[in-house]
């Protein structure tokens, strides 16, 4: 079963990063106010990017790593920066 880490654009130009096995269903939960505390306060507008990973553990590690990135790097990653994505995924493989 695939595991996904996803990034959402939310109200106030904020970025939310989360984990799901079905990103579209999880996005709908967030939109309906039944997702996370953050997305209740800042409703999601769109899915910016998603990453498919082999395992639950890898997905959770990537989610945590993305959440620690400074805002400019999150924006780069969300806009499709392949080099940054490659670097993050390589770091996961090294652990």
| pLDDT at residue 94 in the model | 76
Cα distance between residue 65 and residue 87, in whole Å: 11
Verdict on whether the full-model pTM lies above 0.75: yes
Task: Tell me the per-residue pLDDT of 56-77, one tens digit each, with 9 for 90 and over.
Answer: 999 999 999 999 999 999 999 9
The answer for residues whose C-beta is within 8 angstroms of residue 79's C-beta and 6 or more apart is 48
Helix (H/G/I), strand (E/B), else coil: 5? strand
| pLDDT at residue 1 in the model | 86
**CATH assignment, 3-94:** 3.40.1440
Cα distance between residue 4 and residue 95, in whole Å: 19
List the domain boundaries for the chain.
3-94
Average pLDDT of the residues in 30-48: 94
């Amino acid at each position: 079963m695939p595991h996904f880490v996803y990034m959402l654009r939310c109200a106030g130009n904020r970025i939310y990063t989360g984990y799901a096995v079905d990103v579209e269903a999880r996005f709908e939960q967030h939109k309906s106010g039944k997702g996370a505390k953050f997305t209740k306060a800042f409703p999601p507008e769109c899915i910016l990017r998603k990453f498919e990973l082999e395992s639950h553990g890898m997905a959770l590690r990537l989610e945590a790593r993305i959440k620690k990135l400074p805002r400019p790097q999150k924006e780069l990653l969300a806009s499709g920066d392949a080099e940054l994505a490659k670097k993050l995924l390589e770091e996961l493989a090294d652990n």
